[in-house]
C-alpha cells in the first residue's frame, strides 16, 4: 500500500505528529458529537473535584484516539501513563503498572483489545473496585494479597471494539465512537498544520488535500508534508493547487484518495474479472499481493466509497466503481444470487 495513505503511524513520523497534535479540546477539530460529550464529562468531573469515569475511544486508525487521551489528561490536569495492549502479556505486568499509579492519574492503553486474557480479568476488579488481588507463590502454598489502588481513570483505545469482552466493555463509563472526518474539517486541520509547519499554502490547495485524505487527519498531515517537500524542490516552497495536484499525481493518490493498491484491486476486479464475483485469494494473485494485505488495507476504503461490495459469493464491483475508472457499468451487474466464487 502507498505509505502516504496508510492510516497507521510509522516510528519516523511520531515526533512530527506529536508537534501537530492539538493540546486542548478547544483546539481539537471535528468530531463535534464526541467533542460535546467529552467536554460535558470532563467539566462535570472537574466541578466535583473527582477523577472522570473510565473512557473507551473506538474508531479506525488515524482519527485522533491517542490525541484525545492526551487532551483528557491535559484538561483534567493529571499525569498520563501510556502503554499498549500487546505490551501487557501477563497479569503481573498490569499489576506493576497499576500499583505505581497516583491519585487521579490517567492510564492510557492503546489497542486495548489485544491485551492477554489474564490481564483483562485483573483489569475488571481494578476498574470497578480500585484494587487487585496479587497471587504470590504456586500450588497449595499460593496466597492472595489484596492491593488497594488509587482512584485512576483508564482510557482505552481500540480499532476493533467488537473484540472487547462484554465485562470489560461494560466497565467503561463512556464510549466515544470516532467517525471519519468531513472534507471541511480536514481542510481546517490542514490549515492548522500548515500554520504550525510554516507552510504557505493556497485555499484551493488546502481543499484539494482535504478531499484526498480518506477522512483521516493522519493522512491529511502526511500528504501536506509530502506536498511541502515537492514545493520546496520544484518551486519557491509555497504550495498552490497545481503543485498539489502534481505532487499527489507523482505519489499516485487520485482525486478521491485511492492509492496504487486500491486502484490495482479495482482495475483487476473490473477489467480482469468483469466486475466479479471473484474470491479474495484469486484477486490477490491477480495483482501480486497477499490476500491479507488487500483485506486489511485496500478493501475497507473501497467498500466505504461504494466502489466494491463484499458478498458471500466474492468481491464485486459496483456501478460507482465502474464510473470511477471511466468504464460503463454492464447492464446486468452481479447480485447476491449469482453463482458463488470458489474461494470467496
CA distance 218 to 7: 6
pLDDT of residue 107: 92
What pLDDT sits at residue 108? Answer: 94
Please name each of the domains of the chain with its CATH number: 31-177 (3.40.50.300), 183-250 (1.10.8.60), 260-324 (1.10.10.10)
Q: How many beta carbons lie within 10 A of that of residue 266, not counting itself?
A: 21
Q: Which residue of the set 218, 222, 263, 313 is catalytic?
A: 218
Q: E strands, the chain, where?
A: 55-58, 80-84, 106-110, 131-136, 143-148, 153-158, 174-177, 308-311, 314-317
Is 14 one of the annotated active-site residues of the chain? no
The reply to whether 159 belongs to the active site is: yes
pLDDT at residue 298, rounded to an integer: 85
Catalytic residue among 5, 52, 66, 282: 66
Question: Residue-wise pLDDT tens for the chain (344 aa)?
Answer: 555 655 555 555 555 667 788 888 888 888 899 999 999 999 999 999 888 999 999 998 889 899 999 999 999 898 999 999 898 888 888 888 888 888 989 999 999 998 888 888 888 888 888 888 777 767 666 777 778 888 999 999 999 888 888 888 888 999 999 999 999 999 999 999 888 888 888 899 999 999 999 889 999 999 999 999 888 888 877 888 888 888 888 888 888 888 888 889 899 998 888 887 888 888 888 888 888 888 888 888 889 888 988 888 888 888 888 888 888 887 766 554 454 444 54
Active-site residue, selected from the candidate residues 5, 153, 159, 216: 159
Q: Which of 110, 185, 259, 262 is catalytic?
A: 110
Establish whether 65 is a catalytic residue: yes
Amino acid at each position: 500500500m502507498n505509505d502516504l495513505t496508510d492510516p497507521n503511524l510509522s516510528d519516523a513520523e511520531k515526533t512530527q505528529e506529536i508537534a501537530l497534535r492539538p493540546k486542548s479540546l478547544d483546539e481539537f477539530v471535528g468530531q463535534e458529537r464526541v467533542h460535546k460529550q467529552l467536554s460535558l464529562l470532563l467539566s462535570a468531573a472537574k466541578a466535583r473535584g473527582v477523577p472522570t469515569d473510565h473512557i473507551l475511544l473506538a474508531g479506525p486508525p488515524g482519527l485522533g484516539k491517542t490525541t484525545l487521551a492526551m487532551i483528557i489528561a491535559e484538561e483534567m490536569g493529571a499525569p498520563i501513563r501510556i502503554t499498549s495492549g500487546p505490551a501487557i502479556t501477563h497479569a503481573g505486568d498490569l499489576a506493576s503498572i497499576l500499583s505505581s499509579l497516583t491519585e487521579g492519574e490517567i492510564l492510557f492503553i492503546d489497542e486495548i483489545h489485544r491485551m492477554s486474557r489474564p490481564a483483562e480479568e485483573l483489569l475488571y476488579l481494578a476498574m470497578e473496585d480500585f484494587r487487585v488481588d496479587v497471587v504470590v507463590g504456586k500450588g497449595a502454598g499460593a496466597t492472595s494479597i489484596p492491593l488497594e489502588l488509587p482512584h485512576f481513570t483508564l482510557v482505552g483505545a481500540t480499532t476493533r471494539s467488537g473484540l472487547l469482552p462484554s465485562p470489560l466493555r461494560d466497565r467503561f463509563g463512556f464510549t466515544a465512537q470516532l467517525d471519519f472526518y468531513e472534507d471541511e474539517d480536514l481542510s481546517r486541520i490542514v490549515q492548522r498544520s500548515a500554520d504550525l509547519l510554516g507552510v504557505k499554502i493556497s485555499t484551493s490547495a488546502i481543499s484539494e488535500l482535504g478531499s484526498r485524505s480518506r477522512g483521516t487527519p493522519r493522512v491529511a498531515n502526511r500528504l501536506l508534508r509530502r506536498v511541502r517537500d515537492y514545493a520546496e524542490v520544484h518551486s519557491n516552497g509555497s504550495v498552490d493547487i497545481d503543485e498539489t495536484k502534481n505532487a499527489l499525481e507523482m505519489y499516485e493518490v487520485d482525486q478521491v484518495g485511492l492509492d496504487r493498491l486500491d486502484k490495482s484491486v479495482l482495475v483487476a476486479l473490473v477489467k480482469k474479472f468483469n466486475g466479479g464475483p471473484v474470491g479474495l485469494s484469486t484477486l490477490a494473485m491477480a495483482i501480486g499481493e497477499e490476500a491479507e494485505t488487500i483485506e486489511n488495507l485496500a478493501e475497507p476504503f473501497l467498500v466505504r466509497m461504494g466502489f466494491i461490495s463484499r458478498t458471500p459469493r466474492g468481491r464485486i464491483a459496483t456501478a460507482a466503481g465502474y464510473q470511477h475508472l471511466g468504464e460503463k457499468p454492464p447492464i446486468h451487474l452481479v447480485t447476491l444470487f449469482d453463482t458463488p466464487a470458489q474461494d470467496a
